[in-house]
Structure 1
Amino acid sequence: MIRVLHRWPGLLAAALLVVIALSGAALSLFPAAETLTVPEVEAGLPVADLAQRIQNTYPGVEQIRRAPSGRITAYWFDNGTPGSAVIDPATGIRAASADPNATERWLTNLHRSLFLGDTGRIVSAIGAGALLVLTLSGMFLVARRTGGWRRWFTPLQGPLAGRLHVEVARIAIAGLLLSSVTGLWMTAATFELLPEGGSAPAFPADVSGSTGVALKAIPALQQTAVTSFRELSFPYAGDATDVFTLKTDAGTGYIDQGTGQLLVWSGLSAYERVSETVYMLHTGRGASLLGLVLGVMALGVPVMGGTGLLVWANGRLGRPRLRGNVAAGKAETILLVGSEGGSTWGFAATLQSALKAAGQQVHVAPMSSFAPGRYANARRIAVLAATYGDGDAPASAAGFLDKLRALDKAPGAPLAVLGFGDRSFPAFCAFAKQVEEAARAKGWPFLMPMDTVDRQSPQDFARWGRSFGAAAGVDLELNHQPQMPAATSLTLLSRRDYGAEVQAPAAILRFAIPQASLWARLTGRGFQTFKPGDLMGIVPEGSTLPRFYSLASGTEDGFAEIAVRKHPGGLCSGQLMNLQPGGSVRSFIRRNPDFHPGRGKAPLLLIGAGTGIGPLAGFIRSNASRRPVHLFFGARHPDSDFLYAEELAEWSRDGRVGRVEMAFSRGQPPIYVQDALLKDAAEVSRLIAEGARIMVCGGRGMARGVSESLTAILAPSGQTPAMLKAEDRYVEDVY
């Protein structure tokens, strides 16, 4: 819901907000420039002396004003001709023209009303309201992305456009929030939508009727410093009943022109003080430095507008074009799609096309738009759901579970749930399973049991399609062609081979990183940014399905490195093991944010076996802060497949890793990594008690054994691996 609140005001009001922001940023320069050019006022100069100096130069002076910047302007009549000038307070003579700056006036009209009068003011107010919604929703989205309010400035990963959008937002949000709120206040005040908060004092009834008091003989003017006064209006010439009007930072008063007595005084109300503060904050008048800061923050609006548009467009490009998508109220079949990277939309398009060919009316929509009240003619509802991270909802399924749980009753049309995922990950189709559980808890009837598609398998999808067609009474044959990922050619720089002696060939492969274009960096394509623990997808020759390998390096290392073991009959591993320096593969990056060490000083307990050492070695390599790191690593034999042996020795010497505990299954005596943990149970227990984050990488069997060992180690403390996982202190990358 927050994402929707953020997206649509931004898209619909983008051009308006850019105009308002740029004009506001330009206007912030004028108060600062004015402050720099204002003649200096001598300390303690009373208003009486200033007024006398001006009156000596311009006998017909009628009014003296002091702007928040300190600029003093006088207005007079000379033989019936009006005049005005900016005054030098030291002499009382003209220092500059008082005519308004034409550029500033033009920008002010553009900013406030778009040259459309009151209608334009209303449009600008709508823009300020949209900016307020964007700012508030953006605050929550930034906090969600960075992992909480306390991690507001944590480094970001992902495409440049998305990172730049958040980087600018988390700096500019405070200023934009202040500008939007004060802008709305000022508009409301202009249209008299706010309650009356103060007024000038009542005109005095006891005026003396005499004239001619000397300015320097008026106590109120002698006691008021120029630095605190705002305006002095002189009595109308020849009118003995008129008075001086003095306005200061504290209030407004009337002074008898014959006696110099202060007749009436009215202080500023709380409302007036608030209104003046709002005006100062929004315009920078009286706080030029703050105005400049807000102006710079306003420049973030066009940057965020452009990057936000790129992020939105990039997401839309991930969806195939759905032709003939009927309205929800007319469709017999409703297809709801939960996708993060866009591939699930491709399967939905194939299913829609097949159903249309069978004579069905089909409506396809994101899961986030779930609205059962609109599905008047639906005979069945199918949910095609991918999983993001460790069981989270993908982007287009945001809010689906909340909407489902909030229903008074389940939809009448029966449900089919199809999960998409990769069995090599622990959270395989976890979100789809959550959907199934929530639907059953709500009493939603099922058309067929939940099923899954592994690694975008066309065969799995075709099998499910036949079952779905049979349940729906439709002859259905799904021939899906997975969309090839946007891959980049990587050239192999070097390789180190291991494991031949134990008949388990493995290698560390290091690839050159190609230079990414600006467009690739903005849209997140190519190898512009990645971290150890992210995944390198490789598309083997003769296949459209990528295989994924955990990266042992980050962008700052200047290369992409993976550890590979040859699997019997493995298409991709076989091609990689045959690859020689100078050869190339087609590859791409997939983020894996749930398998990063995170920030902080808590110890890292790294546990791995075989080529699972890859990302763990990457974490150690990047440990420039010398965070406490303890590694438990299992291999077959120290002389054959001790991957990263030389680097670990060097990293141990320079403090990047504190302790390396090896377990060799063909050593003397043979020992496995889970046995090494039990052997050192006291130290492992101590590290966990100190808040250590446990990161496990390797085969499923090893990970299962590690979990069993940690269960035994944690038992005396009352903790379990499941409890640590719930605290995000136990993460796995297993295959």
Structure 2
Amino acid sequence: MIRKLHRWPGLLALALVTLLALSGAALSIFPSLEHLSAPQTVSDQSVADLATRIQSALPGVEQIKRAPSGQITAYWFKDGTPGAGIIDPLTGQAVASADPNPVLRWLTNLHRSLFLGDGGRIAMAVGALAMLVLSISGTLLVVRRVGGWRRWFAPLRGPWAGRIHVELARVAVLGLALSSVTALWMTSSTFDLLPDGEAIPAFPTETSGETGAAFAAMERLASTPVSELRELSFPYPDDASDVFSLTTDQGTGFIDQGTGKMLAWADLSPMQSLSETIYMLHTGQGAALLGLVLGMMALAIPAMGFTGVLIWLSGRRGRPRLHHNAPASRAETILLVGSEGGSTWGFAATLHKALTEVGQTVHATALSAFDPSRYGNAKRILILAATYGDGDAPSTAKGFLDQLAKSEVLLNVPLAVLGLGDRSFPAYCAYAQAVSQAARAKGWSELLAFHTVDRQSAQEFARWGRALGTAMGIPLELAHHPVQPATQVLTLIDRRDYGAEVQAPTAILRFALPKTSLMQRLMRRGFGRFQAGDLIGILPEGSAVPRLYSLASGTHDGFVEIVVKKHPGGLCSGQLIELKVGETVTGFLRRNTVFHPDKGRAPLILIGAGTGIGPLAGIIRGNTRKRPVHLFFGMRHPDSDFLYGSDMRDWKNAGQMTHLTTAVSRTARPQYVQDALRSEQSDVIRLIRDGARVMVCGGRDMAQGVSEALTDILAPVGLTPFMLKSEGRYVEDVY
């Protein structure tokens, strides 16, 4: 519900909100310009002194006004001709024209009403309301995504459009909400929808009938500093019954022009004070710095609008359309989906369709949208969840475990959890397992025991579906056909072979960079933009299940490179090892932002063995800023599988790699990377104290050994790999 409340106002009112934001940002500059150009007053100058100086310089003065910026303007008649000018308070002389800035006037009319009068004001009010709805719903979505208010500024992952969208929102949302609320208040005031509340004293009926009192003799003018003045109106010439009218920050009153006494006074009402504060907050008049800050925040709107549209389009591509998706309040089956790349949504669509065809009412939504209060008619809840990285929640499941911990258990609604993943990864279905365990700990009854599906296996999914149908008392057949991402043809242009001497054929395969359209490059889709550490999915002949390999290159390298070792019986690795220059394979790109080096200057500790050197080599190759990089590389023997050996010498000479430590396992004194780490314990501790980030790539046994070695190494200084992981300073790409 919150996501829809955020999406549709954003899409439908995007142009209006963008125009409102851009014009508001432009207007925010003028209060600062006016403040900087306004002649400065003496700090203790009184209104009486100012009026004396102006009347001396301009005998026909009728009114003096002071703007919130401090600019003083006088209006006068001379020889029957009206005049107006900006005043130097030290001399009382007019120093500049008071004619309105035509650009400011044009922008103001655009911002307020689109040059369409009251109809335009209503339209812009609708835009402000949309901005407020976007601010509130966006805040709730950010809280859900990062896992709570306390994690408001937690690091983000995922596609660049989503990260930019949320980063901007986290900084600008408070200012946008403030601007929209104040805009709605001012529109309501314009259309007299708010109580008046204006405190104006009654005009005096009795005066002294005298004229000519000196300003210095008028106690209120003498005691009021110019910094508090808003307006001073002079009596009509030759009319002894008229009075001075004074408005200050405190209120409004009338002064006898003959005696200088205050005849009537009314303090500003609370409603007036509130309205003036709101006017200041919205326009920046009287708070120029605040106006600039709000203007800068408003500039986030176009960028968030653009990235929001990209997120919406990406979601439409990655999430299948669900026909007959029942409202949550009427559905008998609630289907909750935790997905990162979109494949889990495909399984959910198959399940949704099959259940609907046998007469079930099903509501499918993201796991992060879990809301038990809406499931009044539910008889069961089904959860399909992928796992991201090292057991983390996928993007559409962020915050679910926190919501589950706070929610009331639906005791009469049994639960079934299905995990989807790849068994070759150490954290296989770890998040789904955590969901199942948390539900059991909460006392939730099980419709089915926890199950998993490995590598998008249609057969395993069908078996689970039959078990689900039995538990529900209905026939249920799930015929799932995975939808593969759009693929491109990759042509091999170079290869380097290793490992023949130790019966472990390994190759560095370099493919030509596929042609990409301008739109793909701008939107970073497909091979339009990638980094070392991202993944490439290769579809082997005779199989519909892709195999993933870590990339050893980035877009800027101008080629696609991977490192492959032939595994006994390995379908994909066998085909790749036999590939000849000029031959092709079919593949697609998958982001892996968790295994990218951060943008800082702190050292990198790269640890890899065997083919795990691939993404690490790509990171070093791309280290053109010459950030300190310390590589620990494990191999069998330098004569057979010293992958990137000659490149490493060049990188070290170029300053792209600071230090290299190798560990050789097939010698008289075998050594592994964890042993190499222990041998350089003091250097490792020093680097990590200096803020180093650890990146580990390779087999799961190697990664486990590295984690244990670092646990021992860091124990004396009170650190652990887990602590580094929580800070984003320890990441793994393990297979």
Confirm whether residue 233 of structure 1 aligns to residue 237 of structure 2.
no
* Aligned positions of 1:306-345 closer than 5 A: 306-345=306-345
Partners of 1:474 and 1:512 in 2: CA distance = 52
Partners of 1:135 and 1:86 in 2: CA distance = 47
Confirm whether residue 48 of structure 1 aligns to residue 60 of structure 2.
no
Residue 694 of structure 2: aligned partner: 694
| Conservation of the 8 A alpha-carbon contact between 1:534 and 1:591 | yes
Moved more, 586-595 or 258-267: 258-267
* Aligned positions of 1:300-699 closer than 5 A: 300-372=300-372, 374-375=374-375, 378-514=378-514, 516-521=516-521, 523-598=523-598, 600=600, 603-681=603-681, 683-684=683-684, 692-699=692-699
* Aligned positions of 1:151-170 closer than 5 A: 159=159, 161-162=161-162, 164-166=164-166, 169=169
| Conservation of the 8 A alpha-carbon contact between 2:17 and 2:128 | no
| Conservation of the 8 A alpha-carbon contact between 1:161 and 1:524 | no
| Conservation of the 8 A alpha-carbon contact between 1:335 and 1:382 | yes
Partners of 2:415 and 2:259 in 1: CA distance = 91
Classify 1:725/1:256 alpha carbon distance in 2 versus 1 (closer, same or farther; 3 Å).
Answer: closer
Q: Structure 1: which amino acid aligns with 2:610?
A: G
Moved more, 288-297 or 307-316: 288-297
Classify 1:108/1:669 alpha carbon distance in 2 versus 1 (closer, same or farther; 3 Å).
Answer: closer
- Tell me, what secondary structure is at the counterpart of 1:640? helix
Q: Deviations over 1:88-125 (max 9, x none)?
A: 65876995767998745643542799724997787466
Moved more, 300-309 or 270-279: 270-279
Confirm whether residue 20 of structure 1 aligns to residue 23 of structure 2.
no
Residue 85 of structure 2: aligned partner: 87
Moved more, 453-462 or 201-210: 201-210
Partners of 1:288 and 1:499 in 2: CA distance = 68
- Tell me, what secondary structure is at the counterpart of 1:474? coil
| Conservation of the 8 A alpha-carbon contact between 2:144 and 2:399 | no
Moved more, 481-490 or 224-233: 224-233
Partners of 1:110 and 1:328 in 2: CA distance = 41
Aligned sequence identity (%):
57
- Tell me, what secondary structure is at the counterpart of 2:494? strand
Classify 1:556/1:261 alpha carbon distance in 2 versus 1 (closer, same or farther; 3 Å).
Answer: farther
Partners of 2:415 and 2:719 in 1: CA distance = 39
Q: Structure 2: which amino acid aligns with 1:534?
A: D
Q: Structure 1: which amino acid aligns with 2:84?
A: V
Q: Structure 2: which amino acid aligns with 1:703?
A: A
Residue 73 of structure 2: aligned partner: 72
Q: Structure 1: which amino acid aligns with 2:588?
A: F
Confirm whether residue 129 of structure 1 aligns to residue 132 of structure 2.
yes
Moved more, 267-276 or 10-19: 267-276
- Tell me, what secondary structure is at the counterpart of 1:527? helix
Classify 1:115/1:380 alpha carbon distance in 2 versus 1 (closer, same or farther; 3 Å).
Answer: same
- Tell me, what secondary structure is at the counterpart of 2:527? coil
TM-superposed deviation, 1:144: 7.9
Partners of 1:369 and 1:150 in 2: CA distance = 21
* Aligned residue-pair number: 723
Q: Deviations over 1:406-434 (max 9, x none)?
A: 34333423322111112232222122111
Partners of 1:328 and 1:157 in 2: CA distance = 29
Classify 1:356/1:205 alpha carbon distance in 2 versus 1 (closer, same or farther; 3 Å).
Answer: closer
| Conservation of the 8 A alpha-carbon contact between 1:2 and 1:141 | no
* Aligned positions of 1:711-722 closer than 5 A: 711=711, 713=713, 721-722=721-722
| Conservation of the 8 A alpha-carbon contact between 1:46 and 1:225 | no
Moved more, 346-355 or 249-258: 249-258
Q: Structure 1: which amino acid aligns with 2:73?
A: I
Partners of 2:83 and 2:312 in 1: CA distance = 53
Q: Compute the TM-score of the two structures, normalised by the length of structure 2.
A: 0.82
Moved more, 116-125 or 548-557: 116-125
Moved more, 453-462 or 120-129: 120-129
Partners of 1:416 and 1:717 in 2: CA distance = 44
TM-superposed deviation, 1:161: 3.6
TM-superposed deviation, 1:369: 3.5
| Conservation of the 8 A alpha-carbon contact between 1:85 and 1:94 | no
TM-superposed deviation, 1:295: 4.2
Partners of 2:491 and 2:592 in 1: CA distance = 23
TM-superposed deviation, 1:610: 0.6
Moved more, 105-114 or 387-396: 105-114
Q: Structure 2: which amino acid aligns with 1:426?
A: P
Partners of 1:364 and 1:139 in 2: CA distance = 21
- Tell me, what secondary structure is at the counterpart of 2:585? strand
Moved more, 488-497 or 718-727: 718-727
Moved more, 225-234 or 504-513: 225-234
Moved more, 690-699 or 643-652: 690-699
| Conservation of the 8 A alpha-carbon contact between 1:157 and 1:529 | no
- Tell me, what secondary structure is at the counterpart of 1:705? helix
Q: Structure 1: which amino acid aligns with 2:499?
A: G
Q: Deviations over 1:323-354 (max 9, x none)?
A: 23344455444322222222112112222333
- Tell me, what secondary structure is at the counterpart of 1:115? helix
Partners of 1:712 and 1:308 in 2: CA distance = 46
Classify 1:690/1:245 alpha carbon distance in 2 versus 1 (closer, same or farther; 3 Å).
Answer: closer
CA RMSD of aligned residues (A): 4.5
Partners of 1:294 and 1:717 in 2: CA distance = 45
- Tell me, what secondary structure is at the counterpart of 2:638? coil
Confirm whether residue 107 of structure 1 aligns to residue 105 of structure 2.
no
| Conservation of the 8 A alpha-carbon contact between 2:13 and 2:130 | yes
Classify 1:326/1:320 alpha carbon distance in 2 versus 1 (closer, same or farther; 3 Å).
Answer: same
| Conservation of the 8 A alpha-carbon contact between 1:135 and 1:177 | no
Q: Deviations over 1:586-609 (max 9, x none)?
A: 333322233234355654433221
Classify 1:550/1:630 alpha carbon distance in 2 versus 1 (closer, same or farther; 3 Å).
Answer: same
| Conservation of the 8 A alpha-carbon contact between 1:142 and 1:166 | no
Classify 1:207/1:558 alpha carbon distance in 2 versus 1 (closer, same or farther; 3 Å).
Answer: farther
Classify 1:274/1:558 alpha carbon distance in 2 versus 1 (closer, same or farther; 3 Å).
Answer: farther
Classify 1:234/1:421 alpha carbon distance in 2 versus 1 (closer, same or farther; 3 Å).
Answer: same
Partners of 2:412 and 2:461 in 1: CA distance = 25
Partners of 2:725 and 2:108 in 1: CA distance = 60
Partners of 1:331 and 1:141 in 2: CA distance = 24
Classify 1:518/1:166 alpha carbon distance in 2 versus 1 (closer, same or farther; 3 Å).
Answer: farther
Q: Compute the TM-score of the two structures, normalised by the length of structure 1.
A: 0.82
TM-superposed deviation, 1:210: 0.7
Partners of 1:218 and 1:230 in 2: CA distance = 17
Classify 1:525/1:697 alpha carbon distance in 2 versus 1 (closer, same or farther; 3 Å).
Answer: same
| Conservation of the 8 A alpha-carbon contact between 2:330 and 2:376 | yes
TM-superposed deviation, 1:642: 0.2
Q: Deviations over 1:695-732 (max 9, x none)?
A: 32112232333344445555666766556545554432
Classify 1:392/1:91 alpha carbon distance in 2 versus 1 (closer, same or farther; 3 Å).
Answer: same
Classify 1:501/1:17 alpha carbon distance in 2 versus 1 (closer, same or farther; 3 Å).
Answer: same
